[in-house]
């Protein structure tokens, strides 16, 4: 059973939210059919230079962000986690192995959460209170993940994209911050990426391939409108999106296009956004978001293993 209340009232004024999904280019879902995770160690690591470019951009604009770090990265490239934390940014969890939640089930998901959180906290010296599922894979079918997150004391999630998509999406979910309720009653603050309402549908504009492909001023207008209402917009990028020279993987035609479209535009668009809007990580606004968000939405069906 699903249900929703009215959209949340405006939260306290402040910056928009910027997030970075920290993963290598060969770990994306688009490559899942052609790259065996058991062979990830055979690929050249290209994360560090792109990550440094993002950190420099943030430093130049005196902005901060939430970095959703993959546990595999924390285990194999621990210096990068320390570098992000030392630069003053929030560290949050992106799971361990970039597996969509439908392939895990509650028990495996809980184990991934525990391992990734432990590694990230040890490396960063920060409490890890936020989570983003690989490929935004919390849907009505995987809503049991909300109960698992709440049970483990996570304060917020950013895994629901309120759009229609062949891999993910909850098109009937609220488009702004709201309290997500799982099938077993677990409750957690949900912060979706920015969308644009157009012709009765939510158009994804808040990051990734959508940011690369669409004119950046579309997202800019959305952020300006949200800011005028005192509402934060969530934007996301991946470090590999600032690496147009990355090796080509043997993906299918559509997957390859999705992954590589307009990679050379990412840095310019990110710089444009940072020059026009204030951005911060979720942690600095979390107390206000929890206090001022009243919208609630019930996800999913009865929890059961995948």
Q: Which two tokens stand for residue 129?
A: 């209170």
Whether 226 and 283 have beta carbons less than 8 Å apart is answered as no
Whether 20 and 236 have beta carbons less than 8 Å apart is answered as yes
One pLDDT digit (tens) per residue for the chain, 306 residues: 344 433 433 344 569 999 999 999 999 988 888 889 999 999 999 999 999 999 999 999 999 999 999 999 999 999 999 999 999 999 999 999 999 999 999 999 999 999 999 999 999 999 999 999 999 999 999 999 999 999 999 999 999 999 987 678 899 999 999 999 999 999 999 999 999 998 888 999 999 999 999 999 999 999 999 999 989 999 999 999 999 999 999 888 888 988 889 899 999 999 999 999 999 999 999 999 999 999 999 998 543 443
- Fold of the domain spanning 3-23+43-247+263-298: TIM Barrel (3.20.20)
Q: Which two tokens stand for residue 33?
A: 């059919």
Long-range contacts of 259-268 (CB under 8 A, 24+ apart): 259/25, 259/28, 259/30, 259/31, 259/209, 261/209, 261/212, 261/213, 262/209, 262/212, 262/213, 263/212, 265/212, 266/211, 266/212, 266/237, 266/241, 266/242, 267/53, 267/57, 267/242
Distances (CA, A) of 80 to 8, 31, 241, 296: 36, 23, 17, 36
Q: Which two tokens stand for residue 238?
A: 């991946």
3-state secondary structure 109-173: HHHHHHHHHHHHHHHHCCCCCEECCHHHCCCCCCCHHHHHHHHCCCCEECCCCCCCCCCCCCCCC
Whether 296 and 4 have beta carbons less than 8 Å apart is answered as yes
Question: Coil, strand, or helix at residue 19?
Answer: strand
Region of 241 please: left (phi>0), alpha (psi -120 to 50) or beta. Answer: alpha
Q: Given this model, what pLDDT does residue 169 score?
A: 84
Question: Coil, strand, or helix at residue 241?
Answer: helix
Kindly list the domain boundaries of the chain, sorted by start residue: 3-23+43-247+263-298
Question: Coil, strand, or helix at residue 1?
Answer: coil
Q: For residue 26, which of 208, 247, 210, 242 has the smallest C-alpha distance?
A: 247
Helices (H), the chain: 47-60, 71-76, 78-86, 106-124, 144-151, 208-213, 216-228, 253-260, 266-276, 286-292
262 secondary structure, DSSP code: T
Q: Given this model, what pLDDT does residue 301 score?
A: 58
Q: Given this model, what pLDDT does residue 76 score?
A: 96
Q: Given this model, what pLDDT does residue 302 score?
A: 40
11 secondary structure, DSSP code: -
Question: Coil, strand, or helix at residue 231?
Answer: coil
Whether 81 and 73 have beta carbons less than 8 Å apart is answered as yes
Q: Given this model, what pLDDT does residue 5 score?
A: 38
pTM for this structure?
A: 0.92
Q: Given this model, what pLDDT does residue 275 score?
A: 96
């Amino acid at each position: 059973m699903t249900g929703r209340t009215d959209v949340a009232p405006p939260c306290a004024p402040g910056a928009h939210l910027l997030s970075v999904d920290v993963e290598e280019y060969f770990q994306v879902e688009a490559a899942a059919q052609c790259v065996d995770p058991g062979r990830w160690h055979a690929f050249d690591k290209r994360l560090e230079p792109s990550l440094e470019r993002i950190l420099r951009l943030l430093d130049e604009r005196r902005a901060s962000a939430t970095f959703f770090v993959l546990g595999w990265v924390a285990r194999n490239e621990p210096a990068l986690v320390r570098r992000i934390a030392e630069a003053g940014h929030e560290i949050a969890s992106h799971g361990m192995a970039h597996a969509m939640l439908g392939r895990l089930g509650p028990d495996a998901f809980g184990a991934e959460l525990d391992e990734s959180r432990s590694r990230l906290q040890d490396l960063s010296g920060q409490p890890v209170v936020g989570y983003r599922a690989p490929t935004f894979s919390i849907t009505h079918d995987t809503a049991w993940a909300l109960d698992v997150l709440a049970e483990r004391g996570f304060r917020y999630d950013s895994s629901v994209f309120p759009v229609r998509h062949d891999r993910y999406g909850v098109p009937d979910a609220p488009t702004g911050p709201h309290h997500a309720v799982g099938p077993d009653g677990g409750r957690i603050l949900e912060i979706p990426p920015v969308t644009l309402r157009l012709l009765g549908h939510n158009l994804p504009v808040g990051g990734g391939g959508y940011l690369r492909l669409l004119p950046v001023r579309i997202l800019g207008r959305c952020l300006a409108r949200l800011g005028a209402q005192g509402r934060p917009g969530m934007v996301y990028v991946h470090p590999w999106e600032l690496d147009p020279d990355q090796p080509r993987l043997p993906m299918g035609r559509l997957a390859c296009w999705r992954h590589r479209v307009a990679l050379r535009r990412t840095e310019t668009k990110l710089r444009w956004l940072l020059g026009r809007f204030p951005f911060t990580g979720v942690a600095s606004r979390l107390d206000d978001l929890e206090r001022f968000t009243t919208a609630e939405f019930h996800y999913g069906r009865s929890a059961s293993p995948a």
